[in-house]
A and B are shown apart, each in its own frame.
Chain A
Amino acid sequence: NAGVTQTPKFQVLKTGQSMTLQCAQDMNHEYMSWYRQDPGMGLRLIHYSVGAGITDQGEVPNGYNVSRSTTEDFPLRLLSAAPSQTSVYFCASRRDRYYEQYFGPGTRLTVT
């Protein structure tokens, strides 16, 4: 049982490049979320999903895209990277609405 896994751990992009951050969980959780963490800002919700085929926006969705074709996977796409997207990204999952959330180890992204 690997829990929540994220790849890559580190990534450097140039402005304008696109990429996908991968997230997978093997706990059969319905709810999955993406956050970004910036100093002094806590974790801010980017997008979330309450089940396969269902996604919705969080607080800071601009510049990011998601899809949820399976229960296990929830990739985050950066459409055209900008320096403002330099951050640490965390994926998380939970069994149901009020249950504990489990976090992946994070991806540190730098956009130059």
Chain B
Amino acid sequence: AQSVTQLDSHVSVSEGTPVLLRCNYSSSYSPSLFWYVQHPNKGLQLLLKYTSAATLVKGINGFEAEFKKSETSFHLTKPSAHMSDAAEYFCVVYRDDKIIFGKGTRLHILP
């Protein structure tokens, strides 16, 4: 069975500093992993996806994530946070025909 754990419910960073949002998955085989973002009172938007082609995945708005099988992790990073990055981020794993969401990490950007 596959599941996903987002290790932090809230993360606060200062504008211009790096962002790290952590996600661990459990899987008995190579998973399909995604990150989605939800801005306040908005729908969900795909940031990036991993489907085994490359371990370092680049997404939109300067975000990227690295798939590390040995650590069963798929952490989301960005070198320099912007105020517009304030949102909730969801790590998502595909399990058979179902899609399982993590509980989300709310990213706060401090001026």
CB of A74 within 8 Å of the partner chain: no
- Shortest Cβ distance from B105 into A: residue: A42
Whether the Cβ atoms of A103 and B51 lie closer than 8 Å is no
Q: Is A23 an interface residue (CB 8 A)?
A: no
Q: Answer whether A48 and B98 are a contact pair too, CB < 8 Å, given A40-B9, A42-B103.
A: yes
Contact A100 B97 (CB under 8 A): no
Cβ-defined contact, B43 with A90, below 8 A = yes
Query: B16-44: which have CB < 8 Å to A?
Result: 32, 34, 43-44
Pairwise interchain contact A33-B99, C-beta atoms closer than 8 A: yes
Interface of A is mostly: strand
Chain A residues positioned under 8 Å from B90 (CB to CB): 42-43
Interface set, chain A 63-112, CB cutoff 8 A to B: 90, 92, 97-98, 100-101, 103-106
The reply to whether B97 and A31 contact each other, CB–CB distance below 8 Å, is: yes
A40 to B43, CA, bound (A): 16
A45 is an interface residue with CB less than 8 A from chain B: yes
- Output the nearest chain B residue to A100 by Cβ-Cβ distance: B46
Residues facing A in B35-93 (CB within 8 A) are 43-44, 46, 49, 51, 90
Q: Which of B49, B51, B100, B104 contacts A45 (CB 8 A)?
A: B100
A63 to B98, CA, bound (A): 20
Question: In the docked arrangement, what's the CA distance between A92 and B103, Å?
Answer: 18
B94 and A97 within 8 A (CB): yes
| Nearest Cβ on chain B to A83's Cβ, whole angstroms | 22
Please provide the 3 A-B residue pairs with the shortest distance between their CB atoms, ordered closest to farther: A42-B103, A42-B101, A43-B101
Q: What residues of chain A have their CB less than 8 Å away from a CB belonging to chain B?
A: 31, 33, 35, 40-45, 48, 50, 56, 58, 90, 92, 97-98, 100-101, 103-106
| Residue ranges of B at the interface with A (Cβ–Cβ < 8 Å) | 9, 32, 34, 43-44, 46, 49, 51, 90, 94, 96-104
29 residue pairs of the A-B complex, CB under 8 angstroms, read: A31-B97, A33-B99, A40-B9, A40-B104, A42-B90, A42-B101, A42-B103, A43-B44, A43-B101, A44-B101, A45-B98, A45-B99, A45-B100, A45-B101, A48-B97, A56-B97, A90-B43, A90-B44, A97-B94, A98-B51, A98-B94, A100-B34, A100-B46, A101-B34, A101-B46, A101-B99, A103-B43, A104-B43, A105-B43
